[in-house]
Amino acid sequence: MKHDKSLYWRSLDELASTDEFRAFVEDEFPNRTPDWNDPASRRRFLRLMGASIALAGASACTKQPKELIVPYVRQPEEMIPGKPLFYATAMSVAGIATGVLVESHLGRPTKIEGNPEHPASLGATDAAIQASVLTLYDPDRSQTVTRNGYISGWGTFIAALTGARDAAKPKKGAGVRILTGTVTSPTLATQIQDFLTEFPEARWHQYEPCGRHSARAGAILAFAKPMNTIYRFDRADVIVSLDSDFLSSTTPGSLRYARDYSARRRAAAETPDRTPPRLYVAENTPSVTGSMADHRFRMTAGGVAEFASSIRGDTGATSPEARAVLKDLQAHRGAGIVIAGEYQPPSVHAVVHAINQTLGNAGKTVVYTGPIEANPVDQIASLAELVKDMRDGAVETLLILGGNPVYDAPADLNFLDALKKVKLRAHLGLYSNETAAWCHFHIPEAHYLESWSDARAYDGTVGIVQPLIMPLYGGKTPHEVMNVLNDAADQSAHDTVQGYWQAQHRGTDFDDFWQITLHDGVMAGTALPEKAPPSAKMPEQLANGAGLEIVFRPDPSVGDGALSNNAWLQEMPKPQNKMTWDNAVWISPKSAEHYGVTTGDVVEIELGGRKVGGPVWIMPGQADESLTVHFGYGRTRAGKVADGIGFDAYAVRTANTLWQGTGASIARKARDYKFATTQHTQTMEERDPFRAATYAEFHKTPDFARPEEKRVPNDLTLFPQWEYKQHKWGMSIDLNSCVGCHACTIACQSENNIPVVGKEEVAKGRHMNWLRVDRYFKGPLEDPELYFQPVPCMHCENALCELVCPVAATVHSAEGLNEMVYNRCVGTRYCSNNCPYKVRRFNFFLYADWDTQSLFGVRNPDVSVRSRGVMEKCSYCVQRINSAKIEAEKQDRPVKDGDIVTACQQACPAEAIVFGDLNDPNSRVAKLKRQQRDYSLLEELNTRPRTTYLARLRNPNPDLEKG
C-alpha cells in the first residue's frame, strides 16, 4: 500500500487520548482465550450452527442481520474513516531496535511494515516483527497490576515501591536492585543512572537470555574494551561465516545484512561483469545462512573454534577447506569478511577480530563503533552477582523490568531459590509469566505499540517508539516504573522521553526536530561514529572439548521464549525442517544411527548432571556428535498458546555452557512422538521445482533454467489466447536472493487475516498459510544443499482450478488475477485437487476465531474473514491492487510501477519478491522475467503461471570443487 508520508505519519498524542478503540478490545470474559490447539473445545454447538446459518443467510436469499454505525463523538483530525494511517515507530528485540511503519485503521494497528528510512530495516521486516502486532491483541497478556496474585492497582504498587525506596534511603539504597534486559534506550539508561546517583548503593543488573554475551566479551578480549562491530556485506567479495547466522533475525542488523548481501548476489546474476560474493559457512546446524553458502563446512559448534584458528594465517591452515578459504581471503584483502557467530565463544570472536585486522578488512568491510548498549557489562556475571546477593539476603527490593529470569536464567544459578529470599519482588512484563508468579507485584507492561520510548539500532541509530493505541490493558512502560523510583510517579512516559531528548537537543528548534523525528521514525545523525579499534591481540590456539556436544540456540520462530505465546510464530514452519508448534533435539543421521534413535523418539538428554526430555528430529546437514536444542518452549505460564508444548532447553543450560557444552549423553525414553510438519517429503524426487547452477555453468548455458524439452510453445492450443489489455499482473521470485526467512509467510498471514489452526490440524495437513516456503535437500543425506522456495498462488493464465469449479467461485479477472470469491464458494475442493502447485487452502472447520473479541482488532478490514467450508488462497494482495488503482484513478494518472507492493514483497529483506504489471515493459517485474534465469514451475503443464522464478546461482571456489 502506498503511504503518503507528508500527509500521515504524525504523532498520535491526541488520538491516543481518545477512547474509541478500546471498544474493539473490551471482552466480557477477559480470561476466555482461544485454545488454538483444540479448535473443537472453543466451538460451541449452537454458536457454530448459528454461524453457519448466518453465513448461509448472508449469501442466500435471506434477511440480513441489522448493523449499527457508531460514529465518533469527536473525530480526530487526519482520521478519515475507511482510510488507514501510517505511523513510524521502532520495535526492539533483546534491546536492539528496528524501525517500523505501522498501518492503523480507525486507531487500530493492524499491520507492521519496515521503515525505509531506518538503517536496520530499509523497509524490510522479519517474521517476529510482523507477528508482534498479534501479541498486542493477545488476550493472554496480563491485564491488571497484581499483588501476591490478587488484583491490585498501580497506586498500591507506587505506594509499596516508594515505601521501599524511602526505607532504603538511609542505607544509600543498599538492597535495592534493578534487573533489566539489554538496555539501549538512552532515556531509560539515564533514568536508571539518575536513580543510582541518588542511591549509590543500589545496583543495576542486566541479563538477556540470548543476548550478545560472546560478542561483548570477544571485543573486550581483543581490544580490552567493548566495541560494536558492523559488517558491510555490500563491499565484501569473500565472506567466511564461523557459525554466524547473519541472515536470520538472531543477528542484530540481519535485515540490513540480508539486503546488502542479496543485492550483491543479484547484481552479479543480472550483470555478468559484476563479481558475485562467495560465502563460506562453517556450522553444526543447517541455518538459513548456511543454505545460501557456496561452501558449507559441516562441523560441531566446538569444531568451529579450531576451524577459526586454522584460518588465522600465522599458523598454517590444516585442512584443505581451511587452506582454500585462507587463500581466497588473502586474495581479497580488504574485501573480505570473517564473521563470528553470535553464539560462538568470545575467543572465536577475538580471533576473528584479529583475522579481519590482519587481512585489512577492518575499517573497510568490517567497521567498529562504540558500544550501542547503554551499559555494556558481562551480563552473566551481573546476574550471578545478583543471585549471590539474593541468596545472602543482601537484596531487599528487586525490580525486574521485563524479562523472565525464572524461566530463562542459567540453570546452575538456581535463580528461583535465590529470588524467594527477596522481601519485595516486583515484575514488569507483557505476560504474567513464570517470573511474575514468584513476585509480589506484577505490573502489566505496555506493548511497544502502546509505549513511548526510544532505542538504538544495530548501528546506534536512535528510533523513537511512539504509541499507536492506548494501552489496551493499562500497561506501563519501564520509564513510568523508573519514574516511580525517581519520585516522579506522575510524569508520563511521553514527557520523560521527550524531556530527555529536549535536554540533549542543542538549539531552539526542538519542536520541529521532534516532529521530524517522530515522522521519520529515525533520529538523524545518531548512528555511532566509526572508531578505529586498537590492534587486536590474537588469543592462543583454541581447543575443543570432547564427547557428544549440545548446542543451545534461540528457536528459529519463537526466539528465546519472549514470543512463545504468539500463535502466528508457533504455526510458522521452522525453515530447516518445516516443524510447527514444537521444538526438538536435532541430530545428524549418522549420530542418530549411532545412538539408536530416530525421528519421533522421545529422548532424555543429559549435560553436566542436568536432564531434559524431548523428541528427536533427524536433521540432514547436522554435524555428527552434535545435538541442537532450541529455547522458547516448555513454558508453564506463557499463555493458552504456548503452555505445555515442547520442552525447556534452559533446564540444561548453565552459565559456562551458555551456547554449547560437550560430554552430553542421550537416551531413548519413548517412541512415536507426533510432530506437526507442513512438508513431509524432504527431497525433490528427481524433479526440479528448484533450479540452480554455478556461475560457470550459467555463463556456458545461460538458459539452463528452461531446458528445451520443458518449453511449451504459446500457440500449442486449440483455443485463442486471452488478451489482457489494461494491466497484466505478475510476480517474479528470485531464488538467488531468497534466504528462506519466512518473513513473507507471516506478512501474508497478517495482511490477509489468515487463521491459525493449531497443531492437530497442521498435523493433518490443514495449515492455512497462503504463501508457503518449500524446503528441499539436495545431495548426500549427511551433508546436503538446502534450498528454499516461496510458493504463492501462481495465478496461471490457464488456471486448472477455474476449469473445474462448478459455481464459478474462482475465475480470471480482466487483469489476469486468479480470483477466489469466498462468498460464492460452496467448498467442493475440486480446485485444490486440480491445482498442480497445491497452493489452495481450505477451511475444513470454522478456523477464523469468531469468539475472542480482542483478536478482532488485528484483522485487516480490507480483507474478508473466511468462514467454514470455503477455499482460500493467495490473491496477489488484491486489496492493495484495488486501492492503488482507485487512488490513481482519482488522480487521473496511470498506476506506476511500485505503486502496488504485495505484503510478501514489502516484508522481504532480500528483495527476492517483485510484483508488477507485465504489460509495462519497463516495470521491474517485466525486466526480471526477461532474464534468462526466469522459469516457471511445472512449465511443461502449460498452465502459463504469472508467478515465475529466477534460478539460483552458486559461486563455488574452484579449488574446493576439484578436491
Partner 1 sequence: MKPEDQESTSVATLDPGPDKVIGPGHDYGTVTDEIGGVVFRPFLKTPPQMFIGFACAFLLVNLLMIAVTWLFVRGVGVWGIAIPVAWGFAIVNFVWWIGIGHAGTLISAILLLLKQDWRTSINRFSEAMTLFAVACAGMFPILHLGRPWLAYWLLPYPNTMWLWPQPRSPLIWDVFAVSTYATVSFIFWFTGLIPDFATMRDKAGNPVAQKIFGMLAMGWRNSARHWARYQKAYLLLAGLSTPLVVSVHSVVSFDFAVAILPGWHTTIFPPYFVAGAIYSGFAMVLTLAIPVRRWYHLEDLITMRHIECMSKVMLGTGLIVAYGYAMEAFMAWYSGGQYERYAFVNRMWAGGYWWTYWILILCNIVIPQLLWSRRVRMSVPAVFVIALVVNVGMWLERFVIVVTSLTRDFVPSSWGMYYPTVWDWSTYLGTIGVFLALMFLFIRGLPAISIFEMREVVHEGEATHAHGD
Partner 2 sequence: MAQIFHRSSNSLAKVTIVAMLLIVGVVVLAAYKINAGSFITDVDVAPGQPVPFSHKHHVGDDGIDCRYCHTSVETSSFAGIPPTETCMGCHSQIWANAELLEPVRASLRTGKSLEWARVHDLPDFVYFNHSIHINKGIGCSTCHGRVDQMPLTYKVNTLYMQWCIGCHRNPAQFVRPRDQVFNIAYQYPDNQLELGIRLVKEYKIQSLTDCVTCHR
Partner 3 sequence: MPTETKVSGQLGSLYGIMAEFDDPESLLDAARRARSEGYRDMDAYSPMPVEGLAEAIGFRSNWVQRLVFTGGLLGAIGGFMLCWWITVIAYPHNVAGRPLNSWPAYVPITFELMVLIACITAVVGMLALNGLPQPYHPVFNVEEFTRASRDKFFLCIEATDPKFSPETTREFLEHLNPREVMEVAP
958 burial (CB, 10 Å; 0-12 / 13-18 / 19+) is exposed
Residue whose entry in the numeric block shows the C-alpha cell 529536549: 502
Distance CA 242, CA 340 (A): 5
Q: Is 952 helix (H, G, I), strand (E, B) or coil?
A: strand
- CB nearer to partner 1: pick between 841 and 859: 841
- CB nearer to partner 2: pick between 480 and 819: 819
Which of 682, 813, 828, 931 is in the footprint of partner 3 by CB under 8 A?
A: 813
Q: Is 45 in the site for partner 1 (CB under 8 A)?
A: yes
Which of 221, 817, 835, 913 is in the footprint of partner 2 by CB under 8 A?
A: 817
Q: Are 249 and 209 in contact (CB under 8 A)?
A: no
What are the residues facing 842 on neighbouring strands? 871
Are β-strands 96-105 and 462-465 bridged in parallel, bridged antiparallel, or unpaired?
unpaired
Q: CB of 825: closest distance to partner 2 in angstroms?
A: 10
Q: CB of 801: closest distance to partner 3 in angstroms?
A: 8
Distance CA 289, CA 365 (A): 18
Which of 60, 70, 532, 716 is in the footprint of partner 1 by CB under 8 A?
A: 60
Residues 6 or more apart whose CB falls under 8 angstroms from that of 212 comprise: 94, 182, 252, 342
Q: Is 82 in the site for partner 2 (CB under 8 A)?
A: yes
Which of 722, 807, 882, 889 is in the footprint of partner 3 by CB under 8 A?
A: 722
**Residue in 279, 398, 265 with CA at minimum distance from that of residue 950:** 265
Q: Site map for partner 1, 754-773, x if CB under 8 A?
A: -------x--xxx-----x-
Output the nine-digit C-alpha cell for 477.
512502560
- CB nearer to partner 3: pick between 61 and 73: 61
- CB nearer to partner 1: pick between 276 and 573: 573
Output the nine-digit C-alpha cell for 188.
531509560
Q: Is 820 in the site for partner 3 (CB under 8 A)?
A: no
State the binding partner of 66 from partner 1, partner 3, partner 2, none, CB within 5 to 8 A by kind: partner 2
Which range, of 67-75, 151-159, 400-408, 801-809, touches partner 3 by CB under 8 A? 801-809
State the binding partner of 694 from partner 3, partner 2, partner 1, none, CB within 5 to 8 A by kind: none
Write phi, then psi, for 891 (nearest 5 degrees).
Answer: -85, 5
Distance CA 431, CA 709 (A): 58
Which of 456, 944, 946, 954 is in the footprint of partner 3 by CB under 8 A?
A: 944
Output the nine-digit C-alpha cell for 744.
513473507
Q: Site map for partner 2, 712-751, x if CB under 8 A?
A: --------------x-------------------------
Which of 220, 394, 651, 800 is in the footprint of partner 3 by CB under 8 A?
A: 800
Q: Site map for partner 2, 109-128, x if CB under 8 A?
A: --------------------
Output the nine-digit C-alpha cell for 877.
494482495
State the binding partner of 721 from partner 2, partner 1, partner 3, none, CB within 5 to 8 A by kind: partner 3
Q: Is 836 in the site for partner 1 (CB under 8 A)?
A: yes
**Which residues ranging from 930 to 949 are in contact with partner 1 (CB under 8 A)?**
937-938, 941
- CB nearer to partner 1: pick between 377 and 938: 938
- DSSP H helices in 557-654: 567-570, 589-595
Are β-strands 810-812 and 818-820 bridged in parallel, bridged antiparallel, or unpaired?
antiparallel
**Which residues ranging from 36 to 75 are in contact with partner 2 (CB under 8 A)?**
58-59, 61-64, 66-75
Which of 721, 726, 823, 882 is in the footprint of partner 3 by CB under 8 A?
A: 721
Distance CA 125, CA 905 (A): 10
In sign, the C-alpha dihedral spanning 510, 513, 518, 521 is negative
**Which residues ranging from 667 to 686 are in contact with partner 1 (CB under 8 A)?**
679-681, 683-686
**Residue in 342, 368, 318, 325 with CA at minimum distance from that of residue 238:** 325
Q: Are 92 and 448 in contact (CB under 8 A)?
A: yes
Helix 743-751 with 127-137: angle, nearest 10 deg:
40
Question: What does each C-alpha distance from 180 to 205, 402, 650 come to in angstroms?
Answer: 6, 6, 19
Q: CB of 313: closest distance to partner 2 in angstroms?
A: 59
In our burial notation (b when 16+ CB lie closer than 10 A, e otherwise), range 565-596 reads bbbbbbbbbbbbbbbbbbbbbbbbbebbeebe
Distance CA 160, CA 557 (A): 38
Q: Is 712 in the site for partner 1 (CB under 8 A)?
A: no
State the binding partner of 719 from partner 3, partner 2, partner 1, none, CB within 5 to 8 A by kind: partner 3
Are β-strands 841-842 and 818-820 bridged in parallel, bridged antiparallel, or unpaired?
unpaired
State the binding partner of 80 from partner 3, partner 1, partner 2, none, CB within 5 to 8 A by kind: partner 2
Which of 516, 823, 833, 838 is in the footprint of partner 2 by CB under 8 A?
A: 823
Residues that bind partner 3 (CB under 8 A): 719-722, 797-803, 805, 808, 811-814, 944
- Give the interface with partner 2 as residue ranges (CB under 8 A): 19-20, 58-59, 61-64, 66-75, 80-83, 726, 811, 813-815, 817, 819, 821-824, 862-865, 875, 878-879, 882, 886, 889-890, 892
